[in-house]
Amino acid sequence: MIQRLVIAGVGLIGGSLALALKAKQYCNEIIGLGRDEVSLRHAYELGVIDRFSTDPKEALEGAEVVLLAVPMQAMLPVLNSIHPYLPEQAILTDAGSTKQSVIQEVEQVFGANFARFVPGHPIAGREKSGVDAALADLYEGRRVILTPTPTTDSQALQTIETMWQVAGGRVEHMTPELHDQVLAATSHLPHVLAFALVDTLLKLPDHEDILRYAGGGFRDSTRIASSDPTMWRDICLTNTDAIVEVVEALRENLAEFVTMMRQQDAEGLHQRMATVKQARDAYISKYDAR
């Protein structure tokens, strides 16, 4: 059981973890930390947190675990603000979507040998954001990837692993480098594509008519374009190389589809699409991706 958990950034991700742990009675006290007192008070009134503070010194007193659940480009300012007040034995963890960048920032602030940091990323979310969108069962059955570094303390790692398991997560370990490559392909690229697709259609002269008659396929493929722009801007700027690599691979593949269409290559198109369908169906069946 965690006696005192401090969540910096009580939005969808941090708020959902708080609700999950409260439901399992796994935390004695959950404290919200942030700059916006109005948002923090709202989270308190919703019963997501037990108390809150905009003062890092006050919030971190006696903290056992501190979760950073803020946008990626807010990580460094938050790290700098909590550095003087983080208790010596407190465990620092995060829920960021890119791992190499936050590890570098923690080392920058706390030193290369800081052993109480456990980098993490719950593979869960909604197109809605903010604490109002938080759900107690958001992590139920979802993968949570931990990317410990060579200096990560084993006891700290076990504490964070148990915390996410209690919240319903299926915890897996991965290197930070592999994490960023995998997420660039499976999560970051689809979000960039959804934003780019809607943006492309909005720039067409007759976009009003196009969007008026958009069907289920459009809604399904662009749902994630309703995600938090601040979060996804920061992901693009902190995992740029890996995302650009898969975007370039996609561009080459799209060029092949364009060539087949221009050449009226019915057999080639059908064969490529059939192969893709079979592969996707097999993947969904085998891994039950959520």
Residues written for the chain: 290
Q: What is the tens place of the pLDDT at every residue in 114-171?
A: 999 999 999 997 778 899 999 999 999 999 999 999 999 999 999 999 999 999 999 9
Domain's final residue, options 174, 190, 222: 174
Structure tokens at 103: 């590890």
Number of domains in the chain: 2
Amino acid at 20: A
Instruction: Looking at the structure, tell me whether residues 56 and 141 fall in a common domain.
Output: yes
d(CA 244, CA 36) in angstroms, rounded, equals 34
Average pLDDT of span 218-236: 91
Taking the CA atoms of 97, 168, 128 and 75 in sequence, report the sign of the dihedral they define: negative
Residue 120, SS3?
strand
Range of the domain at 83: 2-174
The CATH number linked to 215 is: 1.10.3660.10
**Boundary residue ending a domain (174, 202, 222):** 174
93 and 216 housed in the same domain: no
Q: Is the pLDDT of residue 288 over 70?
A: no
pLDDT in tens, 208-225: 877 887 777 888 889 999
Supply the pLDDT for residue 286.
79
- State pLDDT tens for residues 5-15: 999 999 999 99
Q: What is the domain-level CATH number for residue 18?
A: 3.40.50.720
Based on the domain organization, do 209 and 96 belong to the same domain? no
- Does residue 261 share a domain with residue 123? no
Pick from 174, 196, 214: which residue ends a domain? 174
15 lies in the same domain as 151 = yes
